[in-house]
Amino acid sequence: MSQGALGGLRLIEMGQLIAGPFCGQLMADHGCEVIKIEPPGVGDAMRAWGQGTPLWFEVVARNKKSITLNLREAEGQAIVRDLVAKSDFLLENFRPGTLEKWHLGYEDLAAVNPALIMIRVSGYGQSGPYSHRAGYGGIGEAMGGMRYICGEPDRMPSRAGLSIGDSLAATYACLGALMALNHRHATGQGQVVDSAIYEAVLAMMESTVPEYTVSNHIRERTGSILPKIAPSNVYPTSDGSVLIGGNQDSVWKRMAAMMGIPELGDDPRYNSHVARGARQQELDDLISDWTRQHTSAAVLAMCEAAGVPAGNMYRAPEMLADPHFKAREAIIATPTARFPDLKMQNVFPKLSATPGKVDWTGPALGAHNEEVYGALLGMDSKRMDDLQARGII
């Protein structure tokens, strides 16, 4: 297994689906030993999630070790404490209070390992009047303000197309864990990282709150444009569409020349950010009339030559065929016995001295029971057989 930047560290992952496990994936990608705890006989619900053939688990559980353990039983909880004594992090995304009910709260575990960093991901955080509520990513996206501004203005708010709230909370959880690790280097003490989905979304909301507090402005849904930022939109071509961003004075001058109307680069109606913003629809109509006369490939070639940012709308087929993706190995082949043609996104971010690596995809349920219970915790086969027979592991 690749060491990576987090080599030598161990994380115990509890919980399921995305909000916690994506944090575990990020850390496993960079060399942290992640031991994922799953319910015996059932496993993480993510094993069955996905459109068509369920494949998301192959990504979110990559580089992790899977063990089965019944956390509802006292013997299972005792095994968690044994694991915590030998680990650096414990990651969980249960509803707040669940671990305390199982006598696995931070106070309990810090008594076993004072250096433990406990990473807690939840809908509303570990405190406050809503903390006890069940919270999914979509609810956090709504409460954090993102859902309201997604979509077209004449329709109900739209989903972003991804479980972005869960992934943001997990990403901030990972960031917090590394901050806590640096603090532990200085003090030897662990702490709790409390990442709430709604707050992770709120953190990405730019100046929406200040805009309201200063001028009572509330951002609304605007579809494919950002109001007063022009030109920046998806424009129709003779065979599809392209995204073009010419919303800077110097870029707009180059874009106007590219379109054969160089005089508009200095025209007072368009030669400043404010002027273009005031005529956004007019400018979009003008550009659309031009792009419709050309293929997408021709428009992109002209934009590249003129130094105007532009791009296609990519799906998986376009990503797999793109030479830039190939050159940077943004997508890698990860063949398995079940899926010989499996490909997925590579480790990100890229580190020059300690690059991460995908060593294996999501493992079979309990694939590492013998390694973890036997080699790490020192259980003999007789005890493991007994625990398995009684549904503890």
Instruction: Find tokens 């406050």 and name the residue.
Output: 128
The DSSP letter of residue 373 is: I
User: Where would I find the H helices in 128-270?
Assistant: 137-143, 164-187, 197-202, 208-215, 249-258
> Catalytic site residue 44?
no
Contacts for 263-270 with beta carbons within 8 Å, 24 or more apart?
none
Query: 218: Cβ–Cβ under 8 A, 6 or more apart, which residues?
Result: 208, 211, 212
**Maximum pairwise Cα distance, the chain:** 85
CA gap 229, 279 in Å, rounded: 10
Of the candidates 215, 219, 238, the one whose C-alpha atom is nearest the C-alpha of residue 229 is: 219
* Residue among 166, 285, 322, 386 flagged as catalytic: 166
Amino acid at 222: T
* Sheet-wide strand order for 310-311: 232-237, 240-245, 310-311
Catalytic positions are 166
